[in-house]
Amino acid sequence: MMGIGYFNGGAIELRGIVPQDIPYSTTSFSDFIAGGSVGYEIYKELKAGIGVKFISQNSYIYSGTGVSFDGGVLFSPSILKGITVSVIFNNFGPAVNFGETQKVTQPSRVRFAMGKRIDIRRYKSNIGISIGGYSKYYVIPYSDTSYTFSDNVKNFVSSIPDRAVTDFDFDYIFDNRINLRLSYLVGGENTIANVGLGIMLSRFRFDYSYTVEQSTNGTHRMSIGVNY
């Protein structure tokens, strides 16, 4: 599968020390992502996938580009009677370049989840419920130091003792064409909840989501993808 995504955080207020309640300017944050992914059924109960993304970021006066890798494994042993266990790796790769000297490590993390899908064929519907968790990722601020892939792995390992985040998810699929999603996080760093809508038309996939966050009034995400 191949896809393109764009994210814009909207106007973000900049405030000084005095007075703190009056913004002196606004700035914006945006992401552009283009990537592809492939999945493979190793055997009936075990599936794996990997994806690669090209990322372009703009934040305040900074801009940068980089490449990121994702991967995951789904395990559905018969002994669990329809329950699927997953392990997902997000945002592993070299540091993102912001100019010739400034680099920032990617927010790498590993997620664990367990869920079950219920098929309601009479109404052409499918319902999914899951609960998962992950450790808060470790982010290194802008620096003149270059961070390698091994640095990203070390940074992730160092973040494991942090307070865990619990993620509750619910989604509804109708006729394999419409997908409604809802998630709620407990202990998250910024995100509180997320709602989304996906529509499949032939090989094309359109997706929209709205994220409730603590630091902003919320963010909107839209993407278009093509299945091969």
**What are the pLDDT digits (tens) for 130-166?**
998 876 554 444 444 555 667 666 665 665 555 567 8
The predicted pLDDT at position 18 comes to 60
Q: What is the pTM of this model?
A: 0.59
pLDDT in tens, 3-19: 787 777 666 666 766 66
If you search the block for the tokens 């809802």, which residue do you land on?
182
Contacts of 89 (CB under 8 A, 6+ apart): 69, 70, 71, 72, 108, 110
CATH of region 2-226? 2.40.160.40
Per-residue confidence (pLDDT) for residue 139, from 0 to 100: 46
DSSP conformational letter for 150:
H
Tokens of 179: 């997908």
Instruction: Sketch the domain layout of the chain as residue ranges.
Output: 2-226
Q: What pLDDT is recorded for position 140?
A: 44
Residue 183 CB neighbours (<10 A): 19
Asked whether the beta carbons of 81 and 91 are under 8 A apart, the reply is no
Residues of the chain with pLDDT under 50: 138-144
